[in-house]
Structure 1
Amino acid sequence: MSAHNSKFRFQLEDKGNVPKFRQLIDAVNNAIAEKRLNIGDNLPSVNQMCQEYKLSRDTVFKAYSILKDQGVIDSVPNKGYFIAREIRRVFLFLDTFKAYKEVLYESFIKALPENVIADVHFHHYNTDVFRHQIENSIGRYQKYIVMPFDHPEVDSVLAMIPSEKLLVIDWNIFSKPGNNLLYQDFGQAVYDSLQSVRDLIKKYGEMVFLYPNYTNHPIESINFGKKFCKDNGIKCSVETNPTKLDVRPGVVYFCVSDRMLGQFLEQCRVKNLEPGRDCGMISYNETPMKKFIYKGITVISTDFKTMGEKAAEFVANDKPMDIRIPTQVFVRDSL
């Protein structure tokens, strides 16, 4: 099979730090994922690739050797290289890459089948980026794992993706009957979590919810937090302006922003206030470091490791999914 009549076409691009052999590997994997190459199809020989695309033998041989080591291709003497395994591509669309999202991502990647390639993208709550990335992805992936956000345009963009291929994760906003869901409960689960540590919270005379005006965290967490305070006769308020944060003794704080958590801890240091003794802190979303900071920060969090594993499970089979990941409380010295 000559390079000219092959199903495989390679376009070398100026990608900065991406070496040519890596581009060739990606091109073969993409061609398999897009069904332009199937199991048993021949690849151009090393000599053909060198002549057709002006590549060195070392570049082509290195790419083919890596693909062969991965089991993607194989070779037979005098017959050349051929596709040995199906490759599938998955579109993973997250909001931002924070510490707790890293836990989700690593768990997801680790649990994926070996023949699956995951392309990760971030929208940073930007509607133009959200729409552009999904528009460009349509038809290129076998499954779509998408973390949405609260904006009226998000619903119509998600509708571009075939429902059987889409898994909405983390927040079930804009979900419809029949959608695949893998989410956490930002409302009632927060209320129940606070109830489970009610006696610790009542050590303090007041509760302040830190909900900065720059956050995209669902407001229902604050609403259910306020309901908890009302039901338990606890004085409470909400602070949305980070510049007005004034940490006071006798107050327990509930914080949905790690940036404001940093401000809280800095003020505790300056004012010589001991979290868990003089004032309290409950943070939202577990991260690897929160168990060590200031003898440990009490956290309300979903299980992002399990969320990543379940998302990989959706990729591995064609079964519908509708799972709410439980919310946990990690009680540490800050409360």
Structure 2
Amino acid sequence: MTSPLHEVDGDAQLSPVISIAPIILPSPNRGSDLHLKVSAPVIGESLPTILFSHGNGQSLHAYGPLIDYWAAHGFVVIQPTHLDSRVLGLSADDSRRPNLWRFREQDIADILDGLDRIERETPIIRGRLDRSRIAIAGHSWGGQTASAFLGARHPDPGNGSIVNRKDDRVKAGVLLAVPGSGRDLTQHAARTFPFLYPDYSGMTAPTLIVMGDHDQGRLSVRGPDWWRDAYDLSPSPKALFTAFGGEHSLGGIPGYEARETTDERPERVAEIQRLSTAFLRTALYPGNPAFAQAAAKLAAETAPEGQLETK
């Protein structure tokens, strides 16, 4: 049986989804073991995988509107709970806090290195993964975390060295509301997030960047255009979807009833679902026309949810 990616384009034939959590990866140097959620379609073999990094304070329980959609369309999705999650409740003086960015990146590396174990402990995906087709996605801080594995670099605030986490196992990405240039951080953000100085010039992997044109945020002295830097400052091939009226939650991607959603709009979420799925289909399966078809459909709409740019 082939992947549902090659079998369905309409919602009528989508696969049911099964999720299992927590899958636990022992992490002796982390202070607490890494908990994962694995979601997968019931049908299909040789399935591509998406690693998803959540935004600040979230957990493996969040982002159902994206995770469920991707899984129903033929992807296995693996979600870690990073140490900054509210469910873990780290105290303000926890010694790990200055290195939360480092633990986040190590979480992703541990998942990539631990796929054999994850597959063994998750019956729904055992023997069903196509290891040659791995993508990464993330929202907000999770977007910054994900970008590192696509080739973006940033300074280590501890010693000033350049952190390079590019991993050739990761073939493509989707970055949602990913932070822009560190030159434009507010003074408070620069003090609080001294690692948030991304250099996107080495982010060579095919990537879709999604931003909202009403995302004012609290990190930058610039306006919403700050959130497009990952597109403007990186080499091709890239795509940028600017969601009209979109704020930081992009219409409601953090959850079906998330308090963080200040701009609730199901139509906006649906467009992001469709475009991100189509982009990954084309990026992971060269020659697949899904993204070109999705772009043409968006361009033909009389009242589109946003604007698409490519390079």
The TM-score bracket by the shorter chain reads 0.3 to 0.5
Provide the TM-score with structure 2 as the length reference.
0.36
TM-score after normalising by structure 1: 0.34
The structure where helix makes up a greater share of residues is 1
Larger Rg over CA atoms:
1
